Chain A
Amino acid sequence: MAVKKRSDLSSTYKFKTWRDITPMNTSAGTMLYNKTGSWRTIKPVFEDKTPACQNACPAGNDIEGWIKLLQQGEYEKAYWHLKREEPFPSILGRVCFRFCEEACNRIPLDDCVSISALERFIGDRGTSSVPHPDLPEYNGKSMAVVGSGPAGMSAAYFCRLLGFKVAIFEKLHVMGGILRVGIPEYRLPREIIAAEFEGLAAMGIELRPGTAIGKDISLEELTGRYDYIFLATGAHGSRKLNMDGEDESRRIMSGLEMLKKVALGEEVEFGRKVAVIGGGNTAIDVARTALRMGSSVTVIYRRSENEMPANPEEVREAREEGVEFRFLAAPERFELNDDGSIRRLVCCEMELGLADESGRKRPVKKDGALFDVETDSILTAIGEVSVLDYLKGIAGTEKDVVAVDDTLMVNTGGNGKIFAGGDIIDIPRTVVNAVASGKKAAIAIDCDYRGADFGDVLKEISIGNGSALSFSRYMNWNPETPQNIHLVVDSEKMVYDYFDKAPRVMQKTGDAETRKNSFNAYRETFTEDDAQQEASRCMHCGRCIECDNCLIFCPDMSVLPKGDGHFGYEFDYDYCKGCGICFTECPRHAITMVSEEEGDK
């Protein structure tokens, strides 16, 4: 503190004889000599903690951090801050599962913050072609990424930030993996994806489209040429219905296959009355794509709407656009004509029985409840599988995932340093999980290169109580304020008495009539006004914003602003009695009470 310590200003009155007694029983000094801090058994400390949103994000996106910068009008700073943990805001801001919004502490008050929309705002404003401010010199080691989907993009990005020379190999002639060929244009325009790859290239990452592993180049060659390999070939195969005739008709196709052909501009043949089998996001993507291609579509799902894994917003929009849904129904058999066209699709009604391992009720056939569905085209979307033929003889695969250890390294019996991530390892199949795995692999690779113990590192950089890792902490890009990223602030810890309700701002969305006739994106990025208004709803959980509550409520005047342009406050431990009022009245739990001994460390 620049100001002279208050206890230095005190004095005690020297008293020896009755002659020293002040006349008229008046005071002759202050009480500052009395350091009431000695009464404490617990003391407060300022510690920024992990908000529930960041804790829920598999990538550990420091949402509060960039929202704060957004509010200050520092859009570019917000962009680079965001990219320290989650490199592709324009993409995730459009297609993310949004674990953060589900966990947002604002929900008990009114509604979550539109985090994803704000991320998109920042992403769209950001200029990925501008040189990355944190770009280091090369460290002399190289890394090859196999697969240009989100996992590969992420691993490449973070490895480059760690100084590795990176090349991304992609089988197709276009980069982006599932983003480019699995997610329809109206959800994620291809210009957005292209811009991100421009950014990666601008960082010095080599892009190798049209190069398939096992065909154009072998895995052995790669391990010979590069110090580290990251496999991220994704899950582009489809689960089969395993019904007779499935492979015998041009009109029975996997939904993913259909989406890829559409995305690549290839010819794809399907009918006017499409039946989509499945209930996940792929099924919806397929249905809405078919609709836009001019067909009428019915989605057939074996459970009820409540159990659908698809995003409810997508289901709603699909319905608005005219997609029909038939729940509690599953295909029973196909009847094909000689030319392969579909004569009949027979389905069976289902009912919900006991729950399975996922917690959802198992669908059970209703005896004899068969019915026909009029269709000339069947698209299956009952689950993705990864195709791992190229790993035959090199590593073990069980079902459709490759086994990795805690550092995401593949056991190859000593054949090079191969890591894996994204949909080919056993993690939830979302874009953000893939991005997180890329980050984790990059850190594991760097630990291997430096000879550091990954387990020790994990302890330092684990965010909250989930699986997310903080790249910033790994790089020691730490803020001035003290941090305790292991503590999570959930809604129980927030003091809602200090917050006013405010309606949630949503992005402008086109109406169904306009939407269904084109592949153009139909949702607009926030305007600056909307972004600022929505960002003001962020409660900054776990992070001090200098609201002054502690300063105002301290009965012992022991909270003082740091001053001199420094952010935040400090406690005057000479006098703080450890009452805990600051802790209780901090609206966002930015203060921690620690035992007196612990605090001294």
Chain B
Amino acid sequence: MRQLLKGNYAVAEGARLCRVKVVSAYPITPQTTIVERLSEMCASGELDAKFIKVESEHSAMATLVGASSAGVRAFTATSSNGLLLMHEVLHWVAGARLPIVMTNVNRAVSGGWNIWADQTDSISQRDTGWLQIYCESSQEVLDSVIMAYRLAEKILMPVMLTYDAFFLSHTTEVVDVPDIELVDAFLPPYRPEYKIDIDNPRMFGGLISPDHFYEHRYTVHRASLEALEYYPEVCREFRDIFGREYDITEEYRTDDAEVIVVTAGTITSVVRITVDRMREAGSKVGLMKLRMFRPVPVDRWRNILGNVAKVVVIDRNLSPGLGGVFANEVQSALYPLENRPSIYPVVAGLGGRDVTPADIEGIINHALSSDDPAGVPLFWGLKQ
């Protein structure tokens, strides 16, 4: 059913449709309305779940370690500092192969207190082992929650879905909320092979010696890579049932492009509009929407970006001393190719700074007009 929903409420609907059983969350702007909506749903019985109102995000994720290990579908949501506070437990969850799904509202990280859109929070968690998928619209977020559980419970890895603070969390869109029966058909109940079970007592998470640890970590890595095979299947099945198609990445007008812009989050929508506008004006520009960030879809990226002359990567994040992380990873993925595009790393929109079509046009034109940038990031919009 089509509704007008704010992004956060779309997330709540997604969790409801997946019949999550345990929610454990701590409020933080701009995630709070997810928590509020889920509380209402639990109180009214609309969602048959236990909502543990924990006293911090660290405990929120730790509580889900318990719940998920005990074999029930678990969900949480957070943002920026809350995500960082969970950091230790994020590593633990991935190492424990618990299929938890979390939505993270991309918000800037303090030192320097800012509550607006910035991807540095989830980017800084890229080594935890969590799968990461960056969403562009409220519809996509809702749909991604549903697909994320399918994926997570198949490969036994946790999945983080991210979307921009305020731009998505607090703006209203038309969202098609599917019938729960359709979702039931797509997403069966969670039946793990290994769980806390009195009749089959096991220990979970014991000390692993140097004799086994390396191989254990390797299995975690391999599980993450399985997503590259399995996720497209999930997306296809989703399309067949719900009519909307997603993929590991999305290409928009890239076939004959001379410049491809690579970006994630709401900036993608802005780029989409700008690509159309510039195409009309004669520029051969295209867009690769960076959707799945972990595991790194190396082959996909190489296929899409390998043959183009110039690639602009727009990062709404900054790793001090390095630059934008998407750019870094794209460069890294393309390095082994014989024919490599020139990469133009651009940092923009940190801390909720608006990125307009004019900005995008400016960025693209900069790439078109300049020669080898030697990988030095361009800080677009910096007041100098």
Contacts and interface: CB of A to CB of B under 8 A. Distances in A.
Whether A and B touch (Cβ < 8 Å) is answered with yes
Contacts of A26: 194, 202-204
B208 A25 contact: yes
A15 interface: yes
B343 to A, nearest CB: 34
A161 to B, nearest CB: 60
Given A18-B218, A18-B219, A25 B202 contact: no
B156 A21 contact: no
Contacts of B212: 15, 21
B195 to A, nearest CB: 9
A140 interface: no
Given A23-B156, A25-B208, A18 B215 contact: yes
A20 B212 CA distance: 10
Interface string A246-277: 00000000000000000000000000000000
Contacts of A23: 97, 156, 193-194, 219
B246 to A, nearest CB: 27
Contact of B156 (A15, A24, A28): A24
B219 A21 contact: yes
B112 interface: no
A17 B204 CA distance: 20
A25 B96 contact: yes
Contacts of B96: 24-25
B193 A25 contact: no
Contacts of B203: 26-27
B216 interface: yes
B95 interface: yes
Interface in A1-55: 15, 17-18, 20-28
Contacts of A21: 212, 215-216, 219
Given A15-B212, A18-B215, A18-B218, A25 B204 contact: yes
A24 B206 contact: no
Contacts of A22: 194
B205 interface: yes
A402 B216 CA distance: 88
Given A23-B193, A24-B204, A25-B205, A17 B215 contact: yes
Contacts of B208: 25
Nearest to B208: A25
Q: Number of contact residues on B: which range applies?
A: 20 to 34
A18 B203 CA distance: 20
A27 B194 CA distance: 10
Contacts of A27: 202-204, 206
Contact of B206 (A18, A20, A25): A25
B143 to A, nearest CB: 28
A279 B192 CA distance: 92
A297 to B, nearest CB: 83
Contacts of B98: 24
Nearest to A17: B215
Contacts of A15: 211-212
Interface in B97-126: 97-98
Contacts of A20: 215
Highest count of chain B CB atoms <10 Å: which of A17, A22, A26, A28: A26
B218 A24 contact: no
Contacts of B222: 18
A523 B186 CA distance: 96
B154 to A, nearest CB: 12
Nearest to B97: A24
A24 B99 CA distance: 10
A25 B156 contact: no
Contacts of A25: 95-97, 204-206, 208, 216
Nearest to B95: A25
Interface string A307-318: 000000000000
A15 B204 CA distance: 18
A181 B272 CA distance: 130
B91 to A, nearest CB: 13
Contacts of A18: 215-216, 218-219, 222
Interface string B191-202: 001100000001
A454 B218 CA distance: 76
Highest count of chain A CB atoms <10 Å: which of B208, B219, B222: B219
Nearest to A28: B202
Nearest to B216: A21
Nearest to B215: A18
Nearest to B206: A27
Nearest to A27: B203
Interface string A462-477: 0000000000000000
Interface in B238-278: none
A10 to B, nearest CB: 15
A15 B205 CA distance: 18
B64 to A, nearest CB: 15
B217 to A, nearest CB: 9
Interface string B82-103: 0000000000000111100000
Nearest to B211: A15
B215 to A, nearest CB: 4
A26 B205 CA distance: 6
Contacts of B218: 18
B371 to A, nearest CB: 46
Contacts of B156: 23-24
A24 B216 contact: no
A20 B216 CA distance: 9
A22 B95 CA distance: 12
Interface in A474-515: none
A22 B98 CA distance: 14
A26 B208 CA distance: 11
Contacts of A17: 215
Interface in A207-239: none
A27 to B, nearest CB: 4
A466 B279 CA distance: 114
Nearest to A22: B194
Highest count of chain B CB atoms <10 Å: which of A23, A25, A27: A25
Contacts of B211: 15
A500 B20 CA distance: 59
A18 B208 CA distance: 13
Interface in A176-199: none
A25 to B, nearest CB: 6
Contacts of B205: 25
A19 to B, nearest CB: 8
B118 to A, nearest CB: 34
A119 to B, nearest CB: 56
B187 to A, nearest CB: 20
A15 B215 CA distance: 10
A26 B218 CA distance: 16
Contacts of B219: 18, 21, 23
A15 B218 CA distance: 15
B208 to A, nearest CB: 7
Interface in B140-156: 156
Highest count of chain B CB atoms <10 Å: which of A21, A24, A28: A24
A286 B152 CA distance: 104
Nearest to B223: A23
A144 B187 CA distance: 104
A432 to B, nearest CB: 62
Highest count of chain B CB atoms <10 Å: which of A15, A18, A27: A18
Contacts of B204: 24-27
Contacts of A28: 202
Nearest to B69: A24
> Lowest 8 CB-CB distances: which A-B pairs, in order?
A18-B215, A27-B203, A26-B202, A24-B97, A24-B194, A18-B218, A21-B219, A27-B202
13 contacts: A17-B215, A18-B218, A21-B219, A24-B204, A25-B95, A25-B97, A25-B206, A25-B208, A25-B216, A26-B194, A26-B202, A27-B202, A27-B203
Interface of A: 15, 17-18, 20-28
Given A22-B194, A23-B156, A26-B204, 8 more contacts: A18-B216, A18-B218, A21-B212, A21-B215, A23-B193, A26-B194, A26-B203, A27-B202
